[in-house]
Structure 1
Amino acid sequence: MLTRDTAAFIDFARRSAHDFGPATASAAFLVAPDGFGLATESATDNRYMAEAAAFDAARASAQHRELQRALSSELPVVCFAGDPSTPDAVFPNNVFATARGDAHSGAQGSARLIVGRMRHPVRQREAMRPDIRRFFHESLGYAEIDLSTQTHVCELTGALAIDRARGLGFCGLSERCDEAGARRMHDAFGLRATLMFDLAPGEYHTNVVLAVLAGRAALLCPDGFADAATVEAIATIYAPHAIRLSSAERSAFAGNAISLHPDTVWMSATADRALSEASRAALATAGFTVRSVELDAIEAAGGSLRCCIGEVF
C-alpha cells in the first residue's frame, strides 16, 4: 500500500505486527567530512544551513571522529573517506540505504543496497562512488537497487522515515522527493505500507521532523508538517509514546534522532540540551536513554546526527 489516504494507512498500520524485521540496525556506516564546507546548491532548499563563514572543517572532522567512537560502543561502525568534491557527503543516509526482507518474504529476504536519486548535482556525484557500492556488493554480498539514474527525486531515509519492525514508511513530499520517487523507494525497501504527506513549506526532509524509534515510539515536530491531521494520525500508531516536539526543539535538531539499540536514542548535544523536561521524561517512559555527541560544526551544513548515519540491516 502506497497512499495519501491517512485513514486507510492508519487502519492498515494498526493491524501490522512487529514481525517485518529487526527494529534497529546491526551496524552503521559514516562518510568523513573531508572537504567539508558550504554546498551552495543544497543551500537553496535547506533553511537549516549556516553561512559559509560558520563552517569549521577541522572542528567538524574532530566531532565526526568522536561520533564514530561513541556509536561504536553500541554497534560496529564503518567510516568511508570523504571527497572534497562532495561537501555534503557527510550525510550519506540520503544517498545510500540498506534493506533486508520485503512485504512478501519478511526478514529472511535478500539483503540489498539502495542508491537514491538526489536533487542537486553536487549530491548526485556521491551516488557514483564505486567504493561504497563495492563494499556492500563484493564484501557483504548485497544486491543493488540503483535509483540514481531515473529522473524522480528520492532522497532515501532523508525523505522516508521507516518503521523497520512493522515495514511501514512515512514519506514527506518536498523538492527532495516527489510521488513517483516515493513509489520507487516504497518498492525498493519492500515496505508493507507507505503514507505520503506534504511537509510544511520550507522543510526539506522528513527526518528533521519525524523519527520512529525502535518501532515503538515516535518524535514528531508538528510545525514541520503541512497538515496537523497527519501528525495526529501518525501519533495514534505510536501512542502512548508519540512525543510532540516544540519549534525550538525542532530547530535544535531534536527530531533528527535515531535508535541504534532498542533502549537508546541518539541525537546531537545541541538537540539534547534543547529537550524539554516533558520530552525527556516521555522518552524515559518509552524505555529510552538519551545519548548525544557534540556536532554543532556539522550542523552548520543543515543536518545533524541522524543524517550522518547510514544503517546496515
Structure 2
Amino acid sequence: MITRDVARFLEAARELMPDAGAATARAAFLVMPEGFARAEQSASDNRYMADADAFDAGGALAEHRALQAALSISVPIVAFPGDPHTPDATFPNNVFATARVDDVPRAIVGRMRHPVRQRESQRADIRAFLTDVLAYPLVDLSTQPHACELTGALVIDRARGIGFAGLSERCDEEGARLMHEAFGLGATLLFDLAPGEYHTNVVLAVLAGRAALVVPNGFADPAVADAIVALYAPHGIVLSADEGTAFAANAIALDATRVWMSARAEAALAPPTRAALADAGFSVHSVPLDAIEAAGGSLRCCVAEIF
C-alpha cells in the first residue's frame, strides 16, 4: 500500500509486525570526497549548501577517513574512491541502496534529479561490487524519467517494511511508487516536504525500527510529523528547528545500540533529546563533519547501507 492518507497508513503500519527484515544493516559503503567542491546544479535546490569559498577539500578528506574508522565499530565499512567529475558523490545513499525482499537480496540504483549526480549512477566499480561481488540482482531505476533519490527521499523502517516518502523536486509520486516496489515495502506514506527542504532524511530518521527523530517544520503538513511521532511512541522524538538545522535528524543507527550523527548535530542536541535517545536504548556517537556539511548533507547522507 502506498498512500497520502495518514490514517490509512497508520492503520496498516500498526498491523505490520517488526519482522520484515533486519532493523540495521550488516555492512555499509562510503565514497571518498576526492574533488570535493560545490556542485552548482545541486545547490539550486539545497539550501543547506555553503558558498564555494567555504569548501575545504583537504578537510573533507580528513573527516571522511575519520568517519570510516569510527563507523567500523558498528559494521564493516567499504570505501570507494571519489571522482572530481562527481563532486556530490560523497553522499552515495541517494544513488545506491540495497534491500532484502522475502529475505532475497537486491541492489537498487536511483534516478537523480540533476545531471551532475546522474553520472554517479553509472559508476561501473560500484555497480560491479553490488552485482558481481555481493551477487545482488539489480533494480535499475536510473534510466526512467521520475526522480527517486533513494534513502535521501525515502526513509525506511526496515524492521516493519514501511517507508516515508517526502515529495520535492528530488522525488515525485511516481518515483516514490517505484521505490516502494523496489524496496518491497508493505506500506509507504507520501507527503510533501516543507518549501526549501530537499530530502526527507534531513528532517526524519528511523533508528533501528524502534525510535524516530522528527523535525516538524520540515513537513508541509505538521499533522504528518505528529502521526510519525505517534507511531513510534514512546520513542517518537521531536527535534527543534535548531536541532534540525544542525542535521540532528540526518542520523543513522548501524547497530542496535548506537546512533551516529555529526559532531555539530550532537552539540545541538537539547538535554530532553539526549534523554529520549537514552530511554530508547541508544548512545550517541559523533564525528566532526564541518567540511563535509558544506556540501549540504551530513553523516547519514554519507552512508550507503548493505542489507
The TM-score, its normalising length taken from structure 1, stands at: 0.98
For residues 10 and 75 of structure 1, the distance between their equivalents in structure 2, rounded to whole angstroms, comes to: 31
Measured in 2, the distance between the counterparts of 1:233 and 1:276 equals: 22
Match of 1:309 in 2: 303
3-state DSSP class of the match of 2:73? coil
What whole-Å deviation, never above 9, does each CA across 1:6-38 have from its counterpart, x for those lacking one?
000000111110100000000010000010000
Determine the structure 2 residue equivalent to 1:48: 48
CA separation in 1, counterparts of 2:174 and 2:74? Answer: 36
How much has 1:73 moved relative to structure 2? 1.3
1:108-128 deviations in Å (ceiling 9; x for gaps): 2x2111000000000000001
Amino acid at match of 1:123: R
Give how far 1:249 is off. 0.4
Residue 255 of structure 1 aligns to a residue whose secondary structure is coil
Deviation at 1:209, TM superposition (A): 0.1
Query: Which residue number corresponds to residue 5 of structure 1?
Result: 5
The C-alpha deviation readout for 1:221-259, integer Å capped at 9, x for no partner, is 000000010011111110000000001000100010000
Aligned residue type for 2:234: P
The aligned counterpart of 2:71 is 71
- The amino acid across from 2:149 in the alignment is E
Equivalent residue number for residue 116 of structure 1:
110
| Aligned-pair CA distance for 1:213 | 0.4
Deviation of 1:74 after TM superposition, in Å, equals 1.4
Summarize the alignment of residues 140-219 of structure 1 with structure 2, pairs less than 5 Å apart.
Answer: 140-219=134-213
- Give the whole-Å Cα distance in 1 for the aligned partners of 2:47 and 2:64: 22
Residue identity opposite 1:116 in structure 2: G
Report the counterpart of residue 227 of structure 1 in structure 2. Answer: 221
- Residue 248, structure 1, aligned to residue 231, structure 2: no
In the aligned structure 1, how far is the partner of 2:68 from the partner of 2:173?
34
Match of 1:287 among 278, 281, 286: 281
SS of match in other structure, 1:258: coil
Partner SS for 1:196: strand
The sequence identity of aligned pairs, in percent, is: 67
Deviation at 1:136, TM superposition (A): 1.1
Letter of the 2:130 counterpart: F
Give me the whole-angstrom Cα distance separating, in 2, the residues matched to 1:266 and 1:73: 11
CA-CA distance at 1:185 after TM superposition:
0.2
> Partner of 2:59 in structure 1?
59
**Structure 2: segments with no counterpart, 5+ residues:** none
1:39-65 C-alpha deviation (Å, 9 max, x unpaired): 000000000000000000000000000
Matches within 5 A, 1:6-21: 6-21=6-21
**So what's the TM-score if we normalise by structure 2?**
0.99
Q: Which runs of 5+ in 1 are unaligned?
A: none
Equivalent runs, 1:260-275 vs 2, <5 Å: 260-275=254-269
Q: What's the offset of the Cα at 1:87?
A: 0.2
Instruction: Tell me the secondary structure at the aligned position of residue 145 of structure 1.
Output: strand
- Separation in 1, partners of 2:219, 2:75: 32
Q: Distance in 2 between matches of 1:73 and 1:218?
A: 22
| AA in 2 matched with 1:228 | P
CA RMSD of aligned residues (A): 0.5
Equivalent in the alignment of 2:122: 128
- What is the CA–CA distance in structure 1 between the aligned matches of 2:98 and 2:138, rounded to whole Å? 9
How many residue pairs align between the two structures?
A: 307
Say yes or no: does 1:38 pair with 2:38.
yes
Separation in structure 2 between the aligned mates of residue 73 and residue 167 of structure 1, nearest angstrom? 26
